[in-house]
Amino acid sequence: MIYPCQEKLVWDLFITLVLFFSCIETPYRIAFVKEDGSLGLLIGYSVDLMFFIDIILTFNSAIEDNRKQFIDDRKVIAALYLKGWFLIDFLAIVPIDIILSSFNYNEAIRLARIGRLYKLVKINKLMRVFKMMKEKSNLVSFLQD
């Protein structure tokens, strides 16, 4: 079980930076890039891998309840995550464009570019990060008073 610590904080900061990058890079690729080159694919797959690792870490990270106590029961953590942000996190890493382009139809190939729009689901994750940052800043302000 992973408890909040310096390493987890560094990982969360790293994922936030990857998330910012993805929220800028994805609309750019949708608007201006017709086909991804090998570097574009490598970057895309690397970002998806980072988000996949984050999903695994989330399933294995203790969470803090309203009473500021840690919940480290994996079943409880999994249930809360599955009810909450898991679907959004999962949709953000599903390669919809690859799935659509595998049909070998002209229409499916055209839809493959639209399939990239699903990557914008990551913006919801960014909103969650901002919410968590706000909650932590409120806690810090409370503790300083």
Residue 107 lies in a domain: yes
The pTM for the full model equals 0.74
Residue 75 lies in a domain: yes
Please report the pLDDT score of residue 28 as a whole number: 84
Each residue of 28-40: pLDDT tens digit?
A: 887 788 777 888 8
CA dist 9 and 16 (Å) reads: 10
DSSP the chain: -BPS-HHHHHHHHHHHHHHHHHHHHHHHHHHH-SS--HHHHHHHHHHHHHHHHHHHHHHTB-EE-TTS-EE--HHHHHHHHHHTTHHHHHHHHS-HHHHHHTT--HHHHHHHHHHGGGGGGHHHHHHHHHHHHHHHHHHHHHHH-
Residue 34 lies in a domain: yes
100 in Cβ contact with 112 (< 8 Å): yes
Residue 1 lies in a domain: no
Q: Which residues pair with 64 in a beta bridge?
A: 70
Residue 26 lies in a domain: yes
Question: pLDDT band at 100, cuts 50/70/90?
Answer: low
Residue 19 lies in a domain: yes
Residue 44 lies in a domain: yes
Question: pLDDT band at 56, cuts 50/70/90?
Answer: very high
CA dist 62 and 76 (Å) reads: 10
Q: Which domain holds residue 15?
A: 6-144
Residue 99 lies in a domain: yes
How many distinct structural domains can be found in the chain?
1
Which CATH number fits the domain that encloses residue 10?
A: 1.20.120
Question: pLDDT band at 88, cuts 50/70/90?
Answer: confident
Mean pLDDT of 107-132: 61
What percent of the chain lies above the pLDDT cut of 90?
A: 20
Looking at per-residue confidence, does 67 or 95 come out higher? 67
